[in-house]
Structure 1
Amino acid sequence: MASTNSWTHEIESPAAAPRLFRASVMDWHTLAPKLVPQIVASAHVVEGEGGVGSVRQFNFTSAMPFNLMKERLEFLDADKCECKSTLIEGGGISAAIETATSHIKVEWAANGGSVVKVESTYNLLPGVEVQDEITKAKGYVTAIFKAIEAYLIANPDAYNDQLNQSTEIIYMINM
């Protein structure tokens, strides 16, 4: 019987929540090979059109302990900057992990930036322990969001189509 485990991680960013969410979640398969080529060799949608039920594949360099990962998008609310995905192949499935899900929510911060909240839940195969891997995973997640943040700062017009009047109103209401 597999044991259920989870970890959470928060990352603060000066980037606006909708921009960061769009770049880091909805378009990550396009940006990853450009922003972190030392980790992600290539990535693409293998099933669907990017919405719920779509499957993306990420192919990794030797920097990662596995060569690929496929994830299925289970939930997506772009207006609330929230998604959930399930690991369906690679990424330790069958070697150490029975199942794994990720929940990402990007929320507005009081300073106009955002806070990324990541929760990963997984079932380990019997006898497997992953403490070092959790620390590494949090480091990878932080590196990914900081790479996206740097890209958004360097490209202030990128992903601004999501910053509309209704988003600004939502931000002011949440203040």
Structure 2
Amino acid sequence: MHIYTGMSSKVKVDSIDTSNLSLSYTYFESEAFVGLIQKITHHITFIPSLDGGSVYKNIFVVIGKPDAKLPEDQIDRAKESLKKTFKAIESYVIAHPEAY
């Protein structure tokens, strides 16, 4: 959750599968979700498309702490943050195809 500037969290890469164009990583011990969330795991896959591009799929799994209630506005902000982050990466890759 990159929506809280200046707060720290630990990130662990769970898997990288270059043959299937997928990656999984987990945020944990974050100052951003103390008391609410134990961890958030992202499962990212790039699916090649017929036009030579790819489809980006990001599923994230949130494991809450017992009896914690995550406010809906925080979920919405997290989703919006992920969209903005993806758009920024997409813009960079399109502008610099030689880098990849």
Aligned length: 98
Q: Which runs of 5+ in 1 are unaligned?
A: 1-59, 160-175
Q: Is the 8 A contact 1:66 1:90 kept in 2?
A: no
1:88 paired to 2:25: no
Identity across aligned pairs (percent)? 29
**Equivalent in 92, 97, 100 of residue 151 of structure 1:** 92
Provide Cα deviations, 1:154-174, integer angstroms capped at 9, x if missing partner: 112111xxxxxxxxxxxxxxx
1:124 corresponds to which of 47, 50, 64: 64
Which residue does the alignment assign to 1:23?
none
Structure number with bigger Rg: 1
The structure whose RCO (Cα within 8 Å, separation 6+) is larger is 1
Residue 82 of structure 1, CA deviation: 0.5
Q: In the alignment, is the contact (CA less than 8 A) between 1:73 and 1:86 conserved in 2?
A: yes
CA distance in 1, matches of 2:90, 2:71: 28
Gaps in structure 2 of 5+ consecutive residues: none
* C-alpha RMSD of matched pairs (Å): 2.1
Aligned-residue offset at 1:108: 1.2
8 Å CA contact 2:42–2:61 kept in 1: the answer is yes
Task: State the TM-score, normalized to the length of structure 1.
Answer: 0.49
